Amino acid sequence: MPAVTEPLALYIHWPFCLAKCPYCDFNSHVRDRVDEARFGAALRRELAHEAARVGRRPLASIFFGGGTPSLMSPDTAAALIEDARRLFDPAPDMEVTLEANPTSVETSRLAAFRDAGVNRASLGVQSLDEAALRFLGRRHDVGQAIAALEAARAIFPRLSFDLIYARPGQAEAAWRAELRQALALAADHLSLYQLTIEPGTQFATLHGRGDFALPEGDDAARLYFATAEEAARFGLRSYEVSNYAKPGAESRHNLAYWRYGDYLGIGAGAHQRVLLEGRMIATRRHRAPEEWAARVERGGHAAVEEEALAPADRAREALLMGLRLAEGIDPARIEARSGVPFAEAVDPAMLAALLDEDYLAWTEAGRLRATEEGILRLDALLPVLLR
Amino acid sequence: MTDTPLDLIRNFSIIAHIDHGKSTLADRLIQATGALSAREMKEQVLDNMEIERERGITIKAQTVRLTYPAQDGKTYVLNLMDTPGHVDFAYEVSRSLAACEGSLLVVDASQGVEAQTLANVYQAIDAGHEIVPVLNKIDLPAAEPDRVKQQIEDVIGLDASDAVMISAKTGLNIEGVLEAIVTRLPPPSGDASATTKALLVDSWYDAYLGVVILVRVKDGFLKKGQRIRMMSSGAVHTIEQVGVFKPKLVPTDSLGPGEMGYVTAAIKTVADTNVGDTITDDRNPAAEPLAGFKPSIPVVWCGLYPVDADDFEKLRESLAKLRLNDASFHYETETSAALGFGFRCGFLGLLHLEIIQERLSREFDLDLIATAPSVVYKVHQTNGEMFELHNPADMPDGSVLDHIEEPWIKATIMLPDDYLGPVLALCNERRGQQVELTYVGARAMLVYRLPLNEVVFDFYDRLKSVSRGYASFDYQMDGYSEGDLVKISILVNNEPVDALSFMAHRSQAERRGRQICEKLKELIPRQLFKIPIQAAIGGRVIARETISALSKDVTAKCYGGDISRKRKLLEKQKEGKKRMRQFGKVEIPQSAFIAALKMDA
């Protein structure tokens, strides 16, 4: 295999939140008091440990996720960004994203994060409807959301925010109206997610006992198409299942996941995949923040699971991520990243059937992509397509 | 040594409808004659199998030898033969009856005669039995002994004026029953000096003794060490043990004429012992076997498949074990594209099918799926050849088909007059031909000829529902007749699902085909592609439904941390596909077919 040095994407997880949202199944924890110095030091130590392992390489992006990383002090973020710049070769236009909630406390600190090196913010707005914000268990109101968006636009060159739609009883017309209002406030990127009931969440319990129902099937499909239509009207293109951007404004960090690139994951519960000497090493870290920190303090890292993925698994992962993108996959890259020729990674008869049904299409550049109708049914399509 | 003089022996059976008290009466007779101590008594001593006791039916013939000092001062040997009471086992019943000289006809004094009683009592009359009517449950407030006596005389034509009035439950007048057996039933006849001739009544497998044969000696003796010959097969065995049932097996030196008892002879499976066969002495064989032997022939067939494909071997072993004890059901391996590996099984009737299925799930802990039962058709081809069709999948091409014959039954249905209308409508809808309609008081007795294939398809359930459970039903096979029968194939995504194909009369084809298509539409989950579901006769589609493609199925959020999770989910889905059956580019979960077949049953 040719020695291709992929630029790295670096993910840093801050596992604390002020409250657990009822729909969220991310690794987040609520604590009365967080020993910021301890967790900041542990993050820096784990970063140094992994950097020594993968060696010096180009660094394309940093992403502070969580949890709520905007609860971290800007100084901690600054130290981590500085470490990363020193340990790797940062790209000249390196993307540094911070997830933040639109509460007034966090908004007041956005400028300090910019000074720390953050150049892109992703705000958890979730809705521009008061009742919906309450239903979603958010700690901000519509006014705060708008204020945060306006502040962030002035501070950061690049800005994205999240909305959750296909909520219980949400009519298409109401969603279109809410989305148009959001688009008017948007900069160059939006993440628009249909509400999903994740196991183990508070919503799973409520939904399970019938407290509310979600739009499903044809209704959900209609909302999805309406979303893409409204976004396109504002020049935002659907480049991934739930992500919309102006051309060139796509999240470079998230593209690394979808293009099955190399990424480091630092912090409690973070995942990492790096191709090292031809082997794709997948790493998962301890989820409990205190235990994670204790392990890092003892041994420099808190990996609890590490395996070299088999070529067939790599091919599956590369395809299941890549077909989420409007650009689709490049068969040559699938082979380069997995070691499995594309023709062996898919079932040829099903590929033909899916092409025939217009769920999949070849581009002129020789890439395979899921059509809009195909992306809408991707979870059903993958198990039949992939070997 | 059993050298009881013939005139001190009485061999008898008990004829009764389910729940009319046969087993309770048998228990009381055993108790009254002291065959078992109070400690040994348990309810329904003779029904050994859990399933027999639970459903109140007898599957295997059983016998018990009672000793009764009668009022005339002599001590009699009474052999009670408990016989299967269901039409599926009609042949076994006839052999049991052939082993006796008389019967007690037990009728519930509050319920009266039922269809099943009728069929069995006629068989007993055919067997030349003396019959003593016994009215049970006369202690119940609802008992109407006079009305029921009248009914016995009107319907059966038996003199019921001195019917024995009892309550088996309370033990009232059990002595009267014992005296009636001694005084009113004839002793057996037989010749002690003639060559050995014994009727093989039934047999079963015992883990310690091997096959145990229940016999009725007609002439001569059966002795330990004797070489015996089965006259139908010519097989020769050496007797290891003879004895009587008290009801436990008690060895004796020999069994003499008129006696009932058992024989063991190192026989490994019951398939080597044919009910109705004649056992004779190998060195001095009888010239002629006893009349009436016929091999058992399955009349209803269906496919049995394990729900979990991994259970196939276990199913094979379980069927083999069951067959050790029941030679009347048949099985052979078969493969279905929809259901995988399984067995084509033949049964004596629907109850027999149900019992075997239930025993497989209960005693062997198997989760099974049965295809729709099929009767045995006689398929005549244009080249003059005829074969028996057990499986609709084996139906030949229309071009070589000349005509088909189907089995008919003669059904007897007894029911309160109020439900006559709907029951007549049901019989007519099922192509029935009315033979007779008579009344006994407010109860109607209907005799119908019906095609068996109309009966195996939910007839009992419909009869029960249209008569609110008041109709009783019994039938006997009544020959074959030509019929306009067609094979209906069910196609999913234009490919036939073998397990769902079935035979039906042309007049029923469209309705039945439509039913299955609608059912499958409900059961098959929507997929990436739209799926046509069709019912067809040959190339002609008679019913059609379409399952539209699913409209949305995609994970909203998927980032770096989710890759492993998504891959593992994908692997699980692929694993799940092993339980799917491929129909072109669509894969249908086997569970959908299983559900479709379960709804049929």
Query: Most confidently modeled of A128-137, B365-374, B463-472, B476-485?
Result: A128-137
- For residue A149, what is the enclosing H or E element? helix A142-155
* Single-letter residue type at B8: L
Distance CA B511, CA A299 (A): 73
Higher pLDDT pick, B365 / A342: A342
| Highest CATH level, class, for B377-483 | alpha beta
Neighbouring-strand partners of residue B341: B335
Distance CA B599, CA B583 (A): 22
Residue with tokens 């992509």: A369
Give the pLDDT confidence score for residue A2 in this predicted structure.
Answer: 42
Interface of B with A in 553-582 (CB under 8 A): 553-561, 563-564, 566-567, 570-571, 573-574, 577
Distance CA A215, CA A222 (A): 10
| Highest CATH level, class, for B197-281 | mainly beta
Cβ contact A379–B554 (<8 Å):
yes
Neighbouring-strand partners of residue A16: A29
ipTM: 0.91
- CA angle at B241 for the pair B235 and B243, rounded to the nearest 5°: 115
Q: Which tens digits make up the pLDDT trace of B107-133?
A: 999 988 887 777 778 888 888 899 999
Helix (H, G, I), strand (E, B) or coil at A281: strand
Give the pLDDT confidence score for residue B55 in this predicted structure.
Answer: 52
Q: Give the one of A242, A321, A384 whose C-beta lies nearest to B563's C-beta.
A: A321
Residues making up chain B, counted from first to last: 601
Q: Which tens digits make up the pLDDT trace of A123-156?
A: 999 999 999 999 999 999 999 999 999 999 999 9
Neighbouring-strand partners of residue A120: A97, A158
Neighbouring-strand partners of residue A325: A240
Give the pLDDT confidence score for residue A305 in this predicted structure.
Answer: 93
Give the pLDDT confidence score for residue B1 in this predicted structure.
Answer: 46
Q: Is B136 annotated as a binding residue?
A: yes
Best CATH choice for the domain B300-371 from the list 3.30.70.870, 3.40.190.10, 2.30.30.110, 3.60.150.10: 3.30.70.870
Range B325-341 average pLDDT: 84
Q: Which tens digits make up the pLDDT trace of B255-277?
A: 999 999 999 999 988 888 888 89
Residue with tokens 């298409």: A172
Task: Give the nearest chain B residue to A287 (CA atoms).
Answer: B561
Which structure tokens are listed for A119?
A: 């150049």
Write out chain A residues lying below 8 Å of B525, CB-based: none
Of A255-259, B62-66, B98-102, B187-191, the range with the lowest mean pLDDT is: B62-66
Q: Which tens digits make up the pLDDT trace of B215-228?
A: 999 999 999 999 99
Pick left, alpha or beta for residue B171 (phi over 0 → left; psi -120 to 50 → alpha; otherwise beta).
left
Nearest-CA neighbor of B486 among B463, B461, B511? B511
Which structure tokens are listed for B411?
A: 């059904």
Cβ contact B574–A349 (<8 Å):
no
Range A193-211 average pLDDT: 94
Helix (H, G, I), strand (E, B) or coil at A325: strand
Distance CA A236, CA A189 (A): 7
Burial class of residue A108 in the structure, from the number of CB atoms within 10 Å of its CB (0-12 exposed, 13-18 middle, 19+ buried):
exposed
Q: For an interface test with A, give the residue of B493, B526, B552, B574 to mutate (most A CBs within 10 A).
A: B552
Long-range contacts, stretch A326-331, CB < 8 angstroms, 24+ apart: A326/A237, A326/A238, A326/A239, A326/A240, A326/A369, A326/A375, A327/A239, A327/A367, A327/A369, A328/A363, A328/A367, A328/A368, A328/A369, A328/A370, A329/A367, A329/A368, A329/A369, A330/A365, A330/A366, A330/A367, A331/A366, A331/A367, A331/A368
| CA distance, residue B87 to nearest chain A CA (Å) | 50
Helix (H, G, I), strand (E, B) or coil at B433: strand
Q: Give the one of A284, A354, A378 whose C-beta lies nearest to B554's C-beta.
A: A378
Query: What is the pairing mode between strands B340-347 and A89-100?
Result: unpaired
DSSP B122-139: HHHHHTT-EEEEEEE-TT
Q: Give the one of B551, B553, B560 whose C-beta lies nearest to A265's C-beta.
A: B560
Helix (H, G, I), strand (E, B) or coil at A105: helix
Q: Give the one of A224, A270, A357 whose C-beta lies nearest to B529's C-beta.
A: A357
Q: For an interface test with B, give the residue of A347, A382, A385, A387 to mutate (most B CBs within 10 A).
A: A382
Range B385-400 average pLDDT: 89
Give the pLDDT confidence score for residue B465 in this predicted structure.
Answer: 86
Neighbouring-strand partners of residue A250: none
- Starting from the edge strand earliest in sequence, which strands make up the sheet with A237-240, in order? A237-240, A243-245, A189-194, A158-165, A120-126, A89-100, A58-66, A8-14, A263-266, A271-276, A279-285, A303-308
Nearest-CA neighbor of B146 among B158, B135, B156? B135
**Within 10 Å of residue A291's Cβ, how many Cβ atoms?**
13
Of A206-210, A245-249, B17-21, B159-163, the range with the lowest mean pLDDT is: B17-21
Identify the band that residue B51 occupies on the pLDDT scale cut at 50, 70 and 90: low
Q: Give the one of B556, B566, B574 whose C-beta lies nearest to A242's C-beta.
A: B556
Distance CA B466, CA B453 (A): 19
- Considering chain B, tell me which residue range(s) the CATH 3.30.70.870 domain(s) occupy: 300-371
Give the whole-number percent of chain B exceeding pLDDT 70.
93
Phi and psi at residue B187, to the nearest 5°: -75, 160
Identify the band that residue B26 occupies on the pLDDT scale cut at 50, 70 and 90: confident
Calculate the alpha carbon distances from A255 to A25, B225, B318, B598 in Å: 22, 89, 57, 49
Give the ranges where B162-267 is alpha helix by DSSP (H). 174-184
Which structure tokens are listed for B503?
A: 């035979």
Q: Which tens digits make up the pLDDT trace of A6-30?
A: 899 999 999 999 999 999 999 999 9
Query: What is the pairing mode between strands B443-451 and B433-440?
Result: antiparallel
* Single-letter residue type at A308: A
Nearest-CA neighbor of B106 among B218, B171, B24, B46? B24
Best CATH choice for the domain A311-387 from the list 1.10.150, 1.25.40, 1.10.10, 1.10.287: 1.10.10
Residue with tokens 């692929």: B574
Task: Give the nearest chain A residue to B562 (CA atoms).
Answer: A271
Distance CA B261, CA B246 (A): 10
Give the pLDDT confidence score for residue B85 in this predicted structure.
Answer: 60
| CA distance, residue A180 to nearest chain B CA (Å) | 20
Cβ contact B528–A254 (<8 Å):
no
- CA angle at A368 for the pair A363 and A369, rounded to the nearest 5°: 90
Cβ contact A284–B560 (<8 Å):
no
Helix (H, G, I), strand (E, B) or coil at A345: helix
| Highest CATH level, class, for B487-598 | alpha beta
Cβ contact A196–B557 (<8 Å):
yes
Sequence-separated (6 or more) residues with CB below 8 Å from residue A270: A11, A12, A13, A284, A285, B561
| CA distance, residue A353 to nearest chain B CA (Å) | 7
Helix (H, G, I), strand (E, B) or coil at B374: strand
- For residue A48, what is the enclosing H or E element? helix A36-54
**Within 10 Å of residue B163's Cβ, how many Cβ atoms?**
22
CB B536 within 8 A of CB B488: yes
Higher pLDDT pick, A60 / B413: A60
Domain range annotation of chain A: 8-256, 311-387
User: A8-256 in CATH: which number?
Assistant: 3.20.20.70
Q: Which tens digits make up the pLDDT trace of B337-381?
A: 778 899 999 998 877 888 888 888 888 888 888 888 889 999 999
Of B219-233, B456-470, B576-590, the range with the lowest mean pLDDT is: B576-590
Phi and psi at residue B460, to the nearest 5°: -55, -45
Which structure tokens are listed for A268?
A: 């409690």
CATH 3.40.50.300 corresponds to the domain B6-184: yes
Helix (H, G, I), strand (E, B) or coil at B250: strand
Residue with tokens 């190399």: A262
Cβ contact B550–A380 (<8 Å):
yes
CB A359 within 8 A of CB A372: no
Write out chain B residues lying below 8 Å of A216, CB-based: 552
- For residue B575, what is the enclosing H or E element? helix B563-576
Distance CA A246, CA A163 (A): 17
Could you tell me if A241 lies within 8 Å of chain B, comparing CB atoms?
yes
Give the pLDDT confidence score for residue B382 in this predicted structure.
Answer: 93
Distance CA A353, CA A364 (A): 20
Neighbouring-strand partners of residue B488: B502, B537
Could you tell me if B425 lies within 8 Å of chain A, comparing CB atoms?
no
Q: Give the one of B561, B577, B587 whose C-beta lies nearest to A270's C-beta.
A: B561
Q: Which tens digits make up the pLDDT trace of B427-452?
A: 999 999 999 999 877 778 899 999 99
pTM across the whole model: 0.68
**Within 10 Å of residue B484's Cβ, how many Cβ atoms?**
12
Identify the band that residue B47 occupies on the pLDDT scale cut at 50, 70 and 90: low
- Considering chain B, tell me which residue range(s) the CATH 3.30.70.2570 domain(s) occupy: 487-598
Question: At residue A190, does pLDDT exceed 70?
Answer: yes
Cis amide bond preceding A67, omega within 30 = yes
Q: Is B519 annotated as a binding residue?
A: no
Range B136-144 average pLDDT: 93
Cis amide bond preceding B247, omega within 30 = yes
Query: What is the pairing mode between strands B130-136 and B210-219?
Result: unpaired
Q: Three-state SS across B139-155?
A: CCCCCCHHHHHHHHHHH
Q: Which tens digits make up the pLDDT trace of A178-187?
A: 999 999 999 8
Helix (H, G, I), strand (E, B) or coil at B246: coil
DSSP state of A29: B
Cβ contact A320–B529 (<8 Å):
no
